[in-house]
Amino acid sequence: MILKKSLLFLTIYLLFFAVIGHAQKREMHPKNEFRAVWIATVVNIDWPKSSTDSVEKQKTDYIEILDTYQKLNYNAVIVQIRSVGDALYPTILAPWSRYLTGREGKAPSPNYDVLEWMISEAHARGFEFHAWLNPYRATFDLKTEALSLNHDYYKHPEWMIEYGGKYYYNPALPEVQQHLTSIVEEVVIKYDIDAIHFDDYFYPYKIKGIEFNDAVSYQKFGKGLSIADWRRSNVSTFVRNISLDIKKLKPWVQFGISPFGVWRNKSVDPKGSDTSSGQTNYDDLYADPLDWMKNNWIDYIVPQLYWSIDHKTASYAKLIKWWSENVPSNTALYVGNSTYKIKADSDKHWNNKYEIPNQIDLTRSYDNVQGNGFFSAKWFINKNQEVVKVLKDYEYKYPALPLPVPNFKKAITESLLINSITKDTTNYYISFQKPKQLTKVRYIVVYGAKDVSKINTNDASQILDKIAVTEENGAFNIEVPDYKMIGKTAFAFTFVDYYANESPETIIDLQVETQTK
């Protein structure tokens, strides 16, 4: 019944889009697909559950999130490491987050590098780790007495603009842009991340009757532009500088942005979407994603399409169509989905347990949309299990590997060479030679099939594991539990580099090549 309802809904939509010429493909179990979850730390939305929890409990809760989404066959986590001028890692550029330790500026006890640990645990489970920063938001409220003296509010009050009950960094100031760029640079240099990620907060969402007080900066730096064009220029300059710095430091680190879901309404601009959104990226947040993509400043984009498929003023169906038509081939397009609305929104479509599954199905009908991100993590942690079951049984039944973003794609010709493969009563132990090509290996992917003739590394159902590797004496060593090979007599192995490119497979007949310990 579940499958029939889901497929019936999908068929209707595919027929509709086929008629207007935009539906491209439908693959039930894609081998390559981006599946991410946002882990929000601001005001303890997802993690830590409480700022007063012990380090031990915080670690347990974080691992629970990873394990939950690993079982659901997700492959990326987008973790908020800076939300309000603070940090979830040791740095002289910002105080420790109050959401981590209960008091801003206070280190964890026992002290440890939280970010390094989070990255290691994510990679150990096959996730990409996208470090999510909010660059412009300086505080979450006006309670400045709760801020550390090391917060920029105290160190550089001239950088701050009060708006709507919060303080923001002034995006126009060159010294602010340099400071925020230095923060990103430090994270890229110090940590083994897969991406830097910004969300939708650039200039703040507008509040009726309140002006963002940057008039003095506009008079000084406006250079004859309208104030709207000048603000957009400030944001674009910052995005450009971040992009250039990341690629200069570690060219394999992606730069992705998750903007608000509506660029402009068609009523204002004929190039806009068929929506009636009260605010838009271009006109209200002064963010122009189309400009960023045209200039090749971002590697991927995740527009937040946080509405139901049939929403009256901002339809998911209409918006995914618009973004699919307006994202150029040099940028990977994923879609942001709102699991936080399930059974918790005035739009009653969210009471339907098939809303999210149907959105994923619709996403897959577009050839240039490569996956989804879901906000936020807590909504599938012992919640909404009827939706989880649908995803587990159908949409996310098998694992998937993220595709390399367009600018990172390259053909790998070298396959893994095996030093040895041995077995005891519980595990297979495989040792590989380090590839001779000058490439950094992130994972080894293990496939299994009934016999050598059945191996197909394009079949997601054959993916057994994705194992983070480290070099040891010029070799990579992995373990594969014996139970994963029940009923199978053949392995295939590939490696995935830091750019997410996958190598050709190496196939092993276990009955011929395995030695017993």
**Which of the 8 DSSP states describes residue 411?**
-
Give the number of other Cβ atoms within 10 Å of residue 343's Cβ. Answer: 15
Q: Is 109 exposed, middle or buried (0-12, 13-18, 19+ CB in 10 A)?
A: exposed
To the question of domain 2-407 being in CATH 2.50.20.20, the answer is no
pLDDT at 203: 98
Where do the domains of the chain lie?
2-407, 410-516
Predicted confidence at residue 439, as pLDDT, reads 77
Nearest Cα to Cα of residue 509 among 458, 451, 457: 451
pLDDT tens-digit series, residues 498-510 = 999 999 999 999 8
| pLDDT value at residue 511 | 80
Block means of pLDDT (10 residues each) for the chain, length 517 residues?
44 42 65 98 98 98 98 98 98 98 98 98 98 98 98 98 98 98 98 98 97 98 97 98 98 98 98 97 98 98 98 98 98 98 98 98 98 98 98 98 96 94 94 87 97 97 96 92 94 97 96 70
Annotation: CATH topology of 410-516: Immunoglobulin-like (2.60.40)
Cβ atoms within 10 Å of 490's Cβ, excluding its own: 21
Q: Secondary structure of the chain: what % helix, strand, coil (to 5)?
A: 35, 20, 45
> Which pLDDT score is estimated for 12?
47
- What DSSP assignment string belongs to 310-341? T-SSS-HHHHHHHHHHHS-TTSEEEEEE-GGG
Give the ranges where 315-444 is alpha helix by DSSP (H): 316-326, 355-364, 385-390
- Mean per-residue pLDDT over the chain, rounded: 94
Decide if 2-407 and 410-516 have a common fold: no
